[in-house]
Amino acid sequence: MLTLTLFFLCCTIAGLAIYLFIKMQRLKEADDKVTALSTSLEEMDEQAKLIMRTDIELNKAQEELDKKISGLNTLQKLSREMSTTLEEKQIFQKINKSHLEDLGFENAVAFLWKTLEREFQLCLNVGYSEAEILKIKSAVSINKDHYLELINHDRTISSTLIPADFLPKDKICELYLVCAFIICPILTQEGDQGFIFIGTSDNEIPITEGDRELIAVLANQIGQTLDNARLFEKTWRSQQELELKVEERTRQLTGALEEVKKISKRKSDFISSVSHEIRTPLTSIKGYAAILLAGKLGTLPEEMHSRLEKMNRHSDELVHMVNDLLDISRIESGKAEIKKENLNLKNITDKIADLFSEQLKNKNINFSSNIPDNCQEILADRNQIERVFINLVGNALKFTPQNGKIEIRASSINKITQIDVKDTGFGIPQDAQESIFEEFFRVDNTINQEVKGTGLGLALVKHIIEAHQGKIWVKSKVGEGSTFSFTLGATK
Amino acid sequence: MRYILTLMNIGIGFSESKDQIQAVNAAITQAIVELKNLRPSIAIIFTTIEFANPLVLKTANYLLGEIPILGCSSLGIITNQGIFKHGFSILLISLDQQTFFNTALIKELNKIDPITNGKNLGEKLLYGCNNVHRSLSIIFSDGLTASTAGILNGIQEKLGRSFPLIGASASDNLTFKKTYQYFNKELCSESCSGMLFGGKFNFGIGIKHGWNPLGKMRCVTKSSGNVIQEIENRPAVKLYQDYLAKDTWELSKELKRVSIFYPIGINLPGEKEYLLRNVISIKDDGSLVTQGDVPENSKIRLMISTKDSCFAATASACHEAKKNLGNKKIKFVIIFDSALRFSLLGRQHVKELAITKDVFGADTPLIGIYTYGEQGSLNPINYLGRSYFHNQTISVLAVGDQ
């Protein structure tokens, strides 16, 4: 019984020992777990510290970055808006409250130093009442030397960076009613320079280097736009001055032209009246000469007869000259009526050939006309245009030597008929070609010295062609011949 | 038989005119026009700090007649049109006969203890309302007195621990010098005003902050009111020194940023969210002075957030307010948004308004302010949540048709 009791006791003790052992083991395991958890917690806490330290730096960087992005966007927007204007006053008007808020500010003023007036002039006011701005203007005026110093040394200052020689921060904040601010010079290549003040009453917003850079970029942009505006203004003024000068010159030239026209008219009137006065006694002289030559007053001695014939011939020449002068005068003064009608060019050239047939035959000159079918019809005054042909062909005949060639050609482009009278004559020197259509001009050559002429023929031709709204010109080479060309409107 | 239903109507007016009298006139006229010339029952006025002067209140009172006026100063005004750093805003409410309200004011908060102050306000609000169904209380307190949490406890002792309450601590332009509360013609500081709505009054509240805990939980071993002396038996400042590897001087220099980004989160038993506390200063002995009380033995952790999680919290608060209102048509929305969130979000603060408008609809009348503290429950579903004094949250009150 005792043995059995002892056995049970031993078993119980052994069981208890085993239980205790297991319990201790578990406690140890639990303790290890607690230690491990505590270590993990400590480690996590250390990690949390690292996270927090990194986070605070990241927040700072993020804040600065956000500010820069927002600022740059605003600057880009402002720059685009400012570049649309070239007027100095409007440049500052582009800056509004919304732009300032995007840049993180609320108030702004800008002043430009007017060198002549020796004072700062307000150009921008955002966020200040009339009374506030008056106070600011007055303070800027009193402290102008400080602001000029900033401009001259291109110094940007802010509430966090104020040089010792500038106004104290508190004074600036009190004046501009802000807690933080930036003052930046507006520099230009030429003309008035100034400064921009930008501020906020939010004392939570610190002014960073980034803010200063942004406002400096804005001030620079304003400066460049001011330069562009001033350059434009200068160019525009120069153009205006130039236009005024051109206008004045045109007015003077118009006056001179009117004067020339008046003189020309007076000349035409004079020639016309003189010609008429000369023609009347000439008709009498010619009449009496004809009576004498016809022997109606008795037979004249041979010498007297030859002298009278000379008088009669010279009188004819004089009549011819007077008629030409009268014609020119009439055309110039617009008194000559141009009766345009459809004419056949071939008929006219045939008539001219017939008229000059004797002289052509005498000098053995080959006369030809080449008038294509599409140039047959012209619109002109018959008498006047015949005078043109008579003059041009007559001249060609006069200056073309024996066995030469005279050709009349016609061509048509865009309803304009061009007629060329070409000869193989002596030609006209280059320097005389421009003056050949002037009245009383005669080319200085041997033919002209031998053959008499009035010097009015080509001038008359020119007037007739111009009265037909045509043009006349000459191409000539000495020794090869000349081509006189003129244009007329065709009927078709 | 013909029934005339007189439902609640509201009108909101705002002006940022620099001429204060002109601004008051313009905003009130705008609100009256929106109210379709119905007689307003009560006016809530929010202004920026420069409008906090007796003449403004006198003018408003003169223009509105003898109706109760409540409100406070703020860093900025939130309206449908945007966020304004200067201006005067007014919300006029015309209530039907099935809704009643009471208003009250307690002044000179620093003269007696906060809990007694709270009890006094609670009693005043309950005056004449003992036998009717009470719905909601809205309070406006001085944002620079350390006692708002205590006042809140006092009010709760009278109105009930889980009684729905939403409130704002007035702010200034972040200079933390002086804030103002408006009560009828009175311009006050160091005061707390409140209104109690009863009868048929449908509303939904949403409060969120968007911060998450990081690191080990720690115990506040010594504190008094809003001063944490020791954490884990070490000077409280060591917590920030350890986590940010900065000495006290560096921390003091960057305190505003540090406090906004990494506030202290108090773990509340039975609450999902942590209650945030901003550190407003560091004492020479290493104590941390917080905006709002931190009781001894509180379990705290440092909190971390991102702008995205802030925006997510804004959306979440709006959705919660909308959900809590049920299927009622929203009449208007009041927002109490932390001034420090405004600081944290910087240039992106307008996104919060965009999110709010997105949830409630762009045309839903909206008015709000930036505050130095928000009051409300962490979990206001079914009115069961207890109200706390918060930092860095956005509180949304959506009021629906009666």
- Considering the domain boundaries, does residue B1 fall inside one? no
Which residue, chain included where needed, has tokens 């309070």? B139
- Considering the domain boundaries, does residue B108 fall inside one? yes
Distance from CA of A100 to the nearest CA of B (A): 12
Q: Chain A within 8 Å of B245 (Cβ-Cβ)?
A: yes
Q: Chain A within 8 Å of B177 (Cβ-Cβ)?
A: no
State the pLDDT at residue B2.
Answer: 31
Distance from CA of A249 to the nearest CA of B (A): 59
Distance from CA of A220 to the nearest CA of B (A): 24
Task: Kindly give, in sequence order, each residue whose CB lies less than 8 Å from that of residue A21, ignoring residues fewer than 6 positions away.
Answer: none
In this structure, are B86 and B103 located in the same domain? yes
In this structure, are B259 and B382 located in the same domain? no
In this structure, are B275 and B366 located in the same domain? no
Distance from CA of A49 to the nearest CA of B (A): 4
- Considering the domain boundaries, does residue B185 fall inside one? yes
In this structure, are B286 and B393 located in the same domain? no
Widest pairwise Cα distance in chain B: 78
In this structure, are B195 and B144 located in the same domain? yes
Rounded distance, CA A258 to CA B66, Å? 90
Which residue, chain included where needed, has tokens 């009115």? B383
Q: Which of B302, B323, B348 is the last residue of a domain?
A: B302
CA dihedral A46, A48, A53, A59 (to 10 degrees): 170
CB distance B346–A51 less than 8 Å?
no
Written as tens digits, the pLDDT of chain A (492 aa) is 778 888 888 888 888 898 998 898 899 888 888 988 888 888 888 888 889 889 988 888 887 788 788 888 888 888 888 888 878 878 888 888 888 888 888 899 999 998 888 899 999 999 898 889 999 999 999 998 999 988 988 899 998 888 888 889 889 999 999 988 999 999 888 778 899 999 988 766 678 888 888 899 889 988 988 888 888 888 989 999 999 999 999 999 999 999 988 887 777 777 777 777 777 788 888 888 888 888 887 888 888 888 888 888 878 878 777 777 777 777 776 666 778 888 888 889 998 888 888 888 988 999 998 888 888 888 888 888 888 999 999 989 888 988 999 999 999 888 888 999 999 998 888 888 888 888 777 777 666 666 666 677 888 899 889 888 899 999 999 888 999 999 987 665
Distance from CA of A94 to the nearest CA of B (A): 22
State the pLDDT at residue B381.
Answer: 47
Task: Kindly give, in sequence order, each residue whose CB lies less than 8 Å from that of residue A181, ignoring residues fewer than 6 positions away.
Answer: A158, A159, A172, A173, A197, A198, A199, A200, A207
Contact criterion met (CB below 8 Å) for B296 and B236: no
Tokens of B327: 């299927």
CB distance A51–B304 less than 8 Å?
yes
Which residue, chain included where needed, has tokens 């401009």? A151
Q: Which of B248, B282, B302 is the last residue of a domain?
A: B302
Which residue, chain included where needed, has tokens 């345009």? A340
Q: Which of A44, A49, A205 comes nearest B243 by C-beta?
A: A49
The superfamily in CATH containing domain A341-489 is Histidine kinase-like ATPase, C-terminal domain (3.30.565.10)
Contact criterion met (CB below 8 Å) for B385 and B378: yes
Tell me the residue range of the domain where B128 lies: 9-208+308-400
Q: Which of B111, B113, B137 is nearest to B126 (CA)?
A: B137
For chain B, positions 276-315, list CB contacts with chain A under 8 A.
302, 304
CB atoms within 10 A of CB A130: 9
Distance from CA of A231 to the nearest CA of B (A): 38
Q: Which of B174, B244, B343 comes nearest A52 by C-beta?
A: B244
Tokens of A66: 């956000």
Element (H, E) at A238: helix A209-293
State the pLDDT at residue A201.
Answer: 81
Distance from CA of A53 to the nearest CA of B (A): 5
Please give the full DSSP string across A333-366, using - where no structure is assigned. Answer: HT-S----EEEEHHHHHHHHHHHTHHHHHHTT-E
Task: Using CA coordinates, name the residue in chain B closest to A132.
Answer: B18
- Best probe of the B interface among A38, A43, A50, A59, by most B CBs < 10 A, is A59
Q: Which of B273, B302, B331 is the last residue of a domain?
A: B302
Task: Using CA coordinates, name the residue in chain B closest to A179.
Answer: B175
State the pLDDT at residue A436.
Answer: 85
- Is B117 exposed, middle or buried (CB count within 10 Å of its CB: 0-12, 13-18, 19+)? buried
- Considering the domain boundaries, does residue B329 fall inside one? yes
In this structure, are B47 and B32 located in the same domain? yes
CB distance B262–A56 less than 8 Å?
yes
CB distance A53–B256 less than 8 Å?
no
A46: Cα within 13 Å, side-chain hemisphere: 5
Q: Chain A within 8 Å of B253 (Cβ-Cβ)?
A: no
In this structure, are B178 and B127 located in the same domain? yes
- Considering the domain boundaries, does residue B106 fall inside one? yes
Complex ipTM tops 0.90: no
Task: Kindly give, in sequence order, each residue whose CB lies less than 8 Å from that of residue A422, ignoring residues fewer than 6 positions away.
Answer: A396, A405, A406, A407, A408, A409, A481, A482, A483
Chain B residues with CB-CB distance to A70 below 8 A: 347
Our count of domains for chain B comes to 2
CB distance B347–A203 less than 8 Å?
no
- Strand residues in B225-318 grouped as ranges (E): 227-231, 234-235, 264-267, 275-277, 279-282, 288-290, 299-304
In this structure, are B221 and B360 located in the same domain? no
CB distance A203–B257 less than 8 Å?
no
Rounded distance, CA A350 to CA A251, Å? 50
Task: Kindly give, in sequence order, each residue whose CB lies less than 8 Å from that of residue A279, ignoring residues fewer than 6 positions away.
Answer: A319, A322, A326
Task: Using CA coordinates, name the residue in chain B closest to A130.
Answer: B18
Backbone angles phi, psi at A354, to 5 degrees: -65, -40
Element (H, E) at A467: helix A457-467
Contact criterion met (CB below 8 Å) for B76 and B83: yes
State the pLDDT at residue B312.
Answer: 95
CB atoms within 10 A of CB B3: 4
- Strand residues in A29-173 grouped as ranges (E): 107-114, 119-126, 157-158
Q: What is the pTM of this model?
A: 0.62
Q: Which of B185, B117, B186 is nearest to B145 (CA)?
A: B117
Task: Using CA coordinates, name the residue in chain A closest to B83.
Answer: A101
Rounded distance, CA A386 to CA A348, Å? 7
In this structure, are B153 and B66 located in the same domain? yes
- Considering the domain boundaries, does residue B312 fall inside one? yes
Please give the full DSSP string across A402-422, using - where no structure is assigned. Answer: TT-EEEEEEEEETTEEEEEEE
Distance from CA of B343 to the nearest CA of A (A): 7
Q: Is B57 helix (H, G, I), strand (E, B) or coil?
A: helix
Q: In what order do the strands lie in the sheet with B88-94?
A: B9-15, B88-94, B42-48, B69-74, B181-183, B186-188
Which residue, chain included where needed, has tokens 């617009």? A334
- Tell me which DSSP letter residue B235 carries: E
Tokens of B10: 């509201």
Number of Cβ pairs closer than 8 Å across A and B? 61
DSSP β-ladder status, B69-74 and B181-183: antiparallel
What CATH number does domain A88-237 carry, 3.30.450.40, 3.30.420.40, 3.40.720.10, 3.40.50.620? 3.30.450.40
Task: Kindly give, in sequence order, each residue whose CB lies less than 8 Å from that of residue B303, ignoring residues fewer than 6 positions away.
Answer: B211, B212, B213, B214, B262, B263, B264, B265, B274, B276
Q: Which of B4, B87, B90 is nearest to B43 (CA)?
A: B90
A112: Cα within 13 Å, side-chain hemisphere: 19
DSSP β-ladder status, A366-370 and A405-413: parallel
Rounded distance, CA B182 to CA B394, Å? 22
Length of chain A in terms of residues written: 492
Contact criterion met (CB below 8 Å) for A177 and A132: yes
In this structure, are B133 and B44 located in the same domain? yes
For chain B, positions 19-78, list CB contacts with chain A under 8 A.
none
How far out from the chain centre does Cα B180 lie?
14
Q: Chain A within 8 Å of B243 (Cβ-Cβ)?
A: yes
Rounded distance, CA B96 to CA B84, Å? 32
In this structure, are B202 and B223 located in the same domain? no
- Is A214 exposed, middle or buried (CB count within 10 Å of its CB: 0-12, 13-18, 19+)? buried
Q: Which of A49, A106, A201 comes nearest B215 by C-beta?
A: A49
Rounded distance, CA A421 to CA A407, Å? 6
- Best probe of the A interface among B22, B240, B243, B301, by most A CBs < 10 A, is B243
Task: Kindly give the parts of chain B with pLDDT less than 70.
Answer: 1-7, 146, 379-384, 402
Distance from CA of A129 to the nearest CA of B (A): 8
Contact criterion met (CB below 8 Å) for B364 and B333: yes
CB distance B346–A205 less than 8 Å?
yes
Rounded distance, CA A466 to CA A385, Å? 11
In this structure, are B317 and B342 located in the same domain? yes
Task: Using CA coordinates, name the residue in chain A closest to B304.
Answer: A52
Q: Chain A within 8 Å of B2 (Cβ-Cβ)?
A: no
- Tell me which DSSP letter residue A423 carries: E
State the pLDDT at residue B266.
Answer: 94
Domains of chain A, by residue range, sit at: 88-237, 341-489
Contact criterion met (CB below 8 Å) for B207 and B297: no
Q: Chain A within 8 Å of B112 (Cβ-Cβ)?
A: no
- Considering the domain boundaries, does residue B4 fall inside one? no
- Considering the domain boundaries, does residue B3 fall inside one? no
CB distance B304–A67 less than 8 Å?
no
CB distance B262–A104 less than 8 Å?
no
CB distance B244–A53 less than 8 Å?
yes
**HEC sequence for B158-203:** HHCCCCCEEEEECCCCCCCCCCCEEECCEEECCCEEEEEEEECCCE
A10: Cα within 13 Å, side-chain hemisphere: 6
Contact criterion met (CB below 8 Å) for B309 and B268: no
Q: Which of A52, A53, A66 comes nearest B347 by C-beta?
A: A66
Contact criterion met (CB below 8 Å) for A472 and A413: no
Q: Which of B18, B175, B304 comes nearest A129 by C-beta?
A: B18
Contact criterion met (CB below 8 Å) for B206 and B319: yes
How far out from the chain centre does Cα A151 lie?
37
CB distance B216–A51 less than 8 Å?
no
Backbone angles phi, psi at A196, to 5 degrees: -120, 135
Sign of CA dihedral A79, A83, A88, A91: negative
Chain A residues with CB-CB distance to B242 below 8 A: 49
